[in-house]
Structure 1
Amino acid sequence: MTIDIAGRVAQLGMTLPLTPSPRGAYVGAVIHNGIAYISGQVSRVGDGIIAGPVDRDTPPDVIQLAARACVLRALSVLVATLPDTTAVDRILFLRGFVNAVPEFVNHSQVMDEASTLLREIFGESGRHARSALGVAGLPGGGLLEIELTVALTSVSDQRPQERAGCGVSTEP
């Protein structure tokens, strides 16, 4: 059985943004051998950007907003890319690039916001391996950029209405 990603996001009081278009010579996602690789998504909301760099005085709500923006953009790309007969099995890896001042050392805490949201959306299937890297700058001056690696599963044995909107596998 699968659940609709957009529906689960809505249950949490959020919405998936319009699927962002790549801003260069690449694609938003590649699916190969049952793995989806989602290109980096910067902390953009609408036409604006949640800007960095992060420092020790950056308000926690700004960090949370940046992380949520990145995750929701990545999931929007994922949903738009998944074939009808495919669902998310689990989130495998989250890589985060944190635009931070040189003395900032809490990159992992910034990434905790993204990790928490993935677990809220996908449950245990949202637990993942991760890296958090501090960088001197990101596209558009963004505060955060994330990449996702996602394991997929076939749902071809299910009725089409159960697959609608792409889903997350809820089977062990």
Structure 2
Amino acid sequence: MSIRDTLRALGLDLPQAPSPKGDYVPVTIYGGVAYVSGQVCRVGEGVISGPVTDQTPAQVVLQAGQTCALRALSVLDQAVGLENIERILFVRGFVYGGEGFQRFSSVVDAASQVFIDVFGEHGRHARSAVGVAGLPSGGLLELEVTAVIRPGAS
């Protein structure tokens, strides 16, 4: 099954690849590794906003994680094609947490699950989740992704 078939079967759609909001590129490729710039949980013209607290509905947290992961996949697809991704190596999540919130890792879980669902065992990755005092546009989550490109594909 192709990556696109897998996404369809999961009921997930890749958004249009976002354009940078500053002086950087969405993906840098070096030595067969793709480094994806931070992807905030933007939906349309808006953003899923933080801070996250223990009272934030689980559905909002789930949507933020899935949105960031799908945006990262979208820029990877634009840069090298998803079929050329050999594996996801590392995911770093920056979580805009409210006062006293400590479950940063749980906020990044939905994003991690997207990569595992799409790439299977090759989607399992090392990860860190960091609490921050704010993110661009007040977003709840920002995600950086590092992926290996199949030899000969870059």
Unaligned runs of 5+ in 2: none
What is the SS of the residue equivalent to 1:154? coil
Instruction: Give 1:145's aligned residue.
Output: 142
Aligned 8 A contact 1:28 1:38 in 2: yes
In the alignment, the residues of structure 2 paired with residue 102 and residue 88 of structure 1 have an alpha-carbon distance, to the nearest angstrom, of 38
Instruction: Give 1:16's aligned residue.
Output: 14
In the alignment, the residues of structure 2 paired with residue 46 and residue 137 of structure 1 have an alpha-carbon distance, to the nearest angstrom, of 20
- Identity in percent: 50
In the alignment, the residues of structure 2 paired with residue 4 and residue 32 of structure 1 have an alpha-carbon distance, to the nearest angstrom, of 25
What amino acid is aligned across from residue 107 of structure 1 in structure 2?
A: F
1:108 partnered with 2:105: yes
Aligned pairs for 1:8-157 within 5 A: 8-82=6-80, 87-154=84-151
* Per-residue deviation, 1:152: 1.1
TM-score by length of 1: 0.85
The one-character-per-residue Cα deviations of 1:90-136 (angstroms, maximum 9, x if unpaired) are 10000000001130000011111111111011100000000000001
Instruction: Give 1:164's aligned residue.
Output: none
In the alignment, the residues of structure 2 paired with residue 155 and residue 5 of structure 1 have an alpha-carbon distance, to the nearest angstrom, of 19
* Per-residue deviation, 1:83: 6.3
In the alignment, the residues of structure 2 paired with residue 7 and residue 22 of structure 1 have an alpha-carbon distance, to the nearest angstrom, of 28
In the alignment, the residues of structure 2 paired with residue 28 and residue 117 of structure 1 have an alpha-carbon distance, to the nearest angstrom, of 19
Higher Rg of the two aligned structures = 1
* Per-residue deviation, 1:155: 5.8
Aligned 8 A contact 1:5 1:79 in 2: no
The one-character-per-residue Cα deviations of 1:4-63 (angstroms, maximum 9, x if unpaired) are 433321111010000100000000001111000000000011111100000010000000
- How many residues align? The count is 153
Unaligned runs of 5+ in 1: 157-172
Aligned 8 A contact 1:6 1:16 in 2: no
In the alignment, the residues of structure 2 paired with residue 50 and residue 101 of structure 1 have an alpha-carbon distance, to the nearest angstrom, of 14
